[in-house]
Amino acid sequence: MTPFTLSRRAALALGAAPLVLPGLARAQAGDPVRLGVILSATGGLAAFVPPIRAGITLAVEEINAAGGVLGGRRIQVVEADDQTNPQAGVQVMTRLVQAENVAAIIGPMASGITIAAANAVSIPAGVPIVSPSATAPAVSQLNDNDTVFRTAVPDGLQGQVLARITREAGIERVAIMAVNNDYGRGLTGSFTAAFQGRGGTVTGSQNFEENRPSYRAELQTLAGRGNPQALLLIGYPASGGNTILRNSIENSFFPRFIMTDGMRDQTVVDQVGARQLEGMFGTGPGTAAAPERRAAYEAAYRRANPNLDPGAAFVAQAYDAAYVIALAIEAGRSADRAAIRQNLRTVANAPGEAVGPGEFARARQLLGAGTKVNYEGASGPIEFNATGDAQGRVEHWAVRNGRVTSVAQLAE
């Protein structure tokens, strides 16, 4: 026996203590406007989070430095971690909506989590959410009473652009390795349809499970069938993508690789080998921003975060999400959830006086004078369509001299 054991009463008291704690999180009516942010800080998407969080922080700091919203109220970020898990996503969104009383939410990042949490929590409660990175086409089909928006470009467009640049690179036969989730399957579908429409052939397609020690068997099967000229890899670097590249290179299964937004990361080149990946290309979330707006955003981002990349995936989209929400609050002169919902389109879409990154003070003056504004963001013009999707561009990138380099911004 241990020399010290708790009495039954003490044990019960200890067990009951946490029950009281969440009660402290009661809604605070009053000064700062609370903006919920749901990111996948842990789990499969964790690697994407630090630059995205910095983007949101930068936008909120700029807005607060310009005097905040609604006559001097600050915007306060309330962040939550969905663990890259839909169940946890529903739970933390419930907390943000019901206990933290947020006016609007940026996130979640993954499509599956966005759909689950929106259906269960934000749509019934009427809270507007703007996801910077949910790219699955299914997000458009939510029966959402106009509460679900995204600054990310849907995967349907990425698949079309990818098919086009692949054909333009002279590649006719492609084998596909795609991560076995909504992202991998959705993009495989849209790419295959567009590629076949352009006269290409998909020689084989394999959905892989993440975090396996080796993918040689799958790759050997794909390489041996239909003589593919390249492998299209749809996945994430840390959970299998890099392993697939290494396995393929070690065994010379494929002469070329094509990749998507999930693999658009300098660490892939650094870890797998610049020499082997030289000349590989792919697609990613693009920017349709006017060069001066993009430059203003990138300069401000680099000043605030010298070690992070303003061009990393979905960072500009997250920055823009914070801006359109703040502008919608200002335009409706209310931090009420329904008012934000109604004004998101008004401030993002043309017509109106164009305002861009870092111009919150000017936008507020214009709105105060009764002028309509049209936010032109760091990731693109941000025009929300009927289903709440921003109309954007897809980036064509390539590995040149060992660096992931932007080649072009394409609209199809």
Amino acid at 343: N
Residue 246 makes contact with another protein by CB under 8 A: no
Determine if 11 is a binding residue for another protein (CB under 8 A): yes
Number of Cα atoms under 13 Å in the Cβ half of residue 101: 11
Please check whether residue 270 is in contact with residue 238, taking contact to mean a CB–CB distance below 8 angstroms.
no
Question: Which stretch in 77-85, 216-224, 253-261, 354-362 sits in contact with another protein by CB under 8 A?
Answer: 77-85
Q: Which is nearer to another protein, 25 or 408 (CB)?
A: 25
Which residue has tokens 């792919």? 282
| Beta partners for residue 389, in sequence order | 150
Interface residue with another protein among 71, 87, 145, 214 (CB under 8 A) is: 87
For another protein, give the closer residue by CB, 16 or 369. 16
Whole-angstrom Cα distance, residue 352 to residue 164? 34
Joined tokens for residue 119: 């259906």
- Of these, 98, 201, 220, 406, which contacts another protein (CB under 8 A)? 98
Q: With helix as H, strand as E and coil as C, how does 195-226 read?
A: HHHCCCEEEEEEEECCCCCCCHHHHHHHHHCC
CA-to-CA separations, 232 to 152, 208, 244, 276, 296, in angstroms, rounded: 22, 13, 11, 16, 35
Interface residue with another protein among 112, 200, 262, 311 (CB under 8 A) is 112
Q: Which is nearer to another protein, 182 or 265 (CB)?
A: 182
CB contact at 8 A, 335 and 283: no
Query: Least distance from C-beta 387 to another protein, angstroms?
Result: 12
CB of 202 to another protein, least distance (A): 18
Q: Does 211 bind another protein (CB under 8 A)?
A: no
Residue 8 near another protein by CB under 8 A: yes
Tokens 């760091």 identify what position?
378
Pairing of strands 230-234, 257-259: parallel
Q: Please identify, among the stretches 92-100, 242-250, 279-287, 291-299, the one whose residues bind another protein according to the rule CB under 8 A.
A: 92-100
Q: What b/e sequence results for 244-275 when a residue is b if at least 16 CB atoms lie within 10 Å of its CB, and e otherwise?
A: bbbbbbeeebbebbbbbbbbbbeebbeebeee
Binding residues for another protein restricted to 150-189, rule: CB under 8 A:
180-182, 184-185
Phi, psi of 134 (to 5 degrees): -75, 110
Cβ 55 to another protein shortest distance, Å: 12
Q: Does 368 bind another protein (CB under 8 A)?
A: no
**What is the contact surface with another protein in residues (CB under 8 A)?**
2, 4-6, 8, 11-12, 15-16, 18-19, 21-23, 25-27, 41-42, 49-50, 53, 57, 77-81, 83-88, 90-92, 94-95, 97-101, 112-113, 115-116, 119-120, 124-125, 137-138, 141, 180-182, 184-185, 207, 209
